[in-house]
Structure 1
Amino acid sequence: MEYLNDMALFVEVVKARSFRRAAETLGMPNSTLSRRISFLEKSIGLRLLHRTTRRIELTEAGQLYYERSKRIVEEARIAHEQLGEMVARPSGVLRVSLPVDFATTYLAPLLPEFAALYPGMDFDFDLTPRNVDLVAEPFDLAIRMAAPQASNLIARVIARLTPRLYAAPGYLEQNGEPHHPSELKQHQCLTMQNIGSWVLHREAESVETTVGSRFRGNSVAMIRRLAVLEMGISALPERVVMEELASGQLRRILPEWQLAATSVYAVTETRLLPAKTQRFIEFLRERLREV
């Protein structure tokens, strides 16, 4: 496809009506430019320019080629500029796949600010626990609570969530309050599916303890609700239970202890992102930095 580059050079020569002036505009040696146009003529099999010591003139074939080439080069320039605008100025529809709990607790409160910053953007959110195919499906990015397994995907950490322990006052009155992580094995501990133990940290000290209850699930909202209903002890980030803490429905226990922080990832199929995706990831990373 080298001839496409030579076509653009040919258009510049015709516009300048001089190899020297065109070479100066293009920032290349005059001899190189002349050689490239000669190669173009040979590849076409027709002379495009009449060269004299003072000026150049288009041949009949050259006039036809110039009219066609000029439109192609202009279209390419416009396409390049429009893509550049996409990088510089966010616009269009942003399609995001993310878990429902993260969307309602963390993302929704931030959306009014982001939408006001970028009025040219619209949003399409798919709240689902499934791992969407970022290559085959029309998503700009996915937000996930674990790093992707696929090596062809790009994962950027946008937040770190630190779970702490909470229980309803009624549950603690009925079952007593633990004063050390080792006592948790004697309690109903509400966990996500496939989790059989918690590792709690206090400064440099760590304690792993077996946990379990009659209830397991894959929804943070359900675990929070069960905790409010006095069904057990939950391990959740503070942001998730702010309203329940303020109303007294839950209170923190073992306040010196916490679980290890878990990372939240913005996952994309490529590192080359349009402005709408770049700005969204940067915004979330900035606003969620203190979570």
Structure 2
Amino acid sequence: MADYLNDMALFVEVVRANSFRRAAEALGMPNSTLSRRISLLEESIGLRLLHRTTRKIELTEAGQLYYERSKRIVEEARIAHEELGEMVAQPTGVLRMSLPVDFATTYLAPLLPEFADRYPGITFDMDLSPRNVDLVGEPFDLAIRMGAPEGTGLITRVVARVSARLYASPGYLEANGEPGHPGDLKNHQCLSMSTMPSWALNSGQEIFSVKVASKYRTNSVAMIRKLATLNMGIAFLPERIVADELAAGKLRQVLPRWIGDPGPVYAVTETRLLPAKTQRFIEFLREKLRDAA
């Protein structure tokens, strides 16, 4: 089928130029090659399309019908190609994505005005939830996930690496004391994500892994942050996530010399072959979140 379409375009060019020689020059190919391709097209159809003479070409009845149909197809293909080229240069369309609410509000929202200015033709449809959407069965272009995504056959791209630190409320620390070393965390209430049964910490000179035990295990960063402000335990979260609570004095840093290993933030897609809108967005996140904390 692809050969038919290519030869159809060559046929249209020959008819428009009314000459094999002029068409070959315009196409940048040998005259003999062009003539052979048109002959093969006629053989595949089983009808003569052109009467050839030494001075000119004339359309047969079948050739006239084929030309009328072909020129519309070739023109539509040209327009489609140009429109898609414009989409790559200035992408348009609805970008449907799934992402955790805290990542969206803390990291993504401040970036959206710049992205909107850069690509005004892109609009957003965002599902803010911790659930792992089905990128194959549901109409999403991509998902943003903190931590390794579940599912096989999906394509993952790291767009950022985020480090967590330890935080607790002044009230909790007053009632329970302040740990002096990560090993002391076994004696404290630790507010943990369901996907993080242990916390990996390093001080630059020492690496320590803490297996955390908690009455409260959840898949919501917002819930962990809220429980920490209510004196319920020690949280392990990125600084940006708790910036407002730190500024208000509701939380303060614990074990300030210790920091979590940088965890990857992934852009997850079903395929490597992405529309321009999705490509540009992933590139933008990589550019802006390279130094995320």
Choose 126-135 or 87-96, whichever is displaced more. 126-135
CA distance in 1 between counterparts of 2:143 and 2:172 reads 37
Aligned-pair distance for 1:242?
Answer: 0.5
Q: Match for residue 171 of structure 2?
A: 170
In 2: Cα distance, 1:186 partner to 1:214 partner:
13
Are residue 278 (structure 1) and residue 270 (structure 2) matched? Answer: no
Match of residue 71 from structure 1: 72
Distance 1:115 1:23, change over 3 A: same
Gaps of 5+ in 1: none
Q: What letter corresponds to residue 218 of structure 2 in structure 1?
A: G
Distance in 2, Cα, partners of 1:167 & 1:107: 25
Q: How does 1:57-206 map to 2 (within 5 A)?
A: 57-193=58-194, 195-206=196-207
Query: What displacement does 1:150 show?
Result: 4.0
SS of the aligned residue for 2:126 comes to: strand
Give the CA deviation at 1:81.
1.4
Give the Cα–Cα distance (whole angstroms) in 2 for the partners of residues 289 and 206 of structure 1: 24
- With over 3 angstroms needed to count, the CA separation of the structure-2 counterparts of 1:184 and 1:148, relative to structure 1, is closer
Scaled by the length of structure 2, what TM-score is found? 0.94
Number of residue pairs aligned between Structure 1 and Structure 2: 291
Q: 2: CA distance between counterparts of 1:143 and 1:231?
A: 29
- For 1:121-141, what per-residue CA distance to the aligned partner results, in whole angstroms no more than 9, with x for missing partners? 211001122222222322111
Q: TM-score, normalised by structure 1?
A: 0.95
Is residue 14 from structure 1 mapped to residue 7 from structure 2 by the alignment?
no
1:174 deviation in Å? 1.0
Alpha-carbon displacement from aligned partner over 1:248-271 (angstroms, at most 9, x marks no partner): 111111111011111111111222
Name the aligned partner's letter for residue 271 of structure 1.
Answer: R
> Secondary structure at 1:131's aligned position in 2?
coil
Q: Conserved in 1, the CA contact under 8 Å of 2:95 and 2:125?
A: yes
Structure 2 gaps, min length 5: none
Q: Confirm or deny: 8 A CA contact 2:130 2:220 kept in the other structure.
A: no
Backbone CA RMSD of aligned residues: 1.5
Q: Does 1:50 align with 2:51?
A: yes
CA 1:76–1:146: 2 relative to 1, 3 Å: same
Q: CA deviation at 1:151?
A: 4.5
1:218 is the counterpart of 2:216: no
Q: Secondary structure at the match of 1:35?
A: helix
**CA distance in 1 between partners of 2:51 and 2:82 (Å):** 33
Query: Cα distance, 1:197 vs. partner?
Result: 2.7
Tell me the percent identity.
74
What residue number does 1:235 align with?
236
Using the TM superposition, give the Cα deviation of residue 194 of structure 1 relative to its aligned residue in structure 2, in angstroms: 5.4
Task: Give the SS at the match of 1:133.
Answer: coil
Counterpart code for 1:10: F
- For residues 43-97 of structure 1, the C-alpha deviation after alignment (integer angstroms, 9 at most, x for no partner) is 2222111111122111222111111110111111111111222211121111111
- The one-letter code matched in structure 1 to 2:267 is A
Q: 1:196 offset after TM fit, Å? A: 3.5
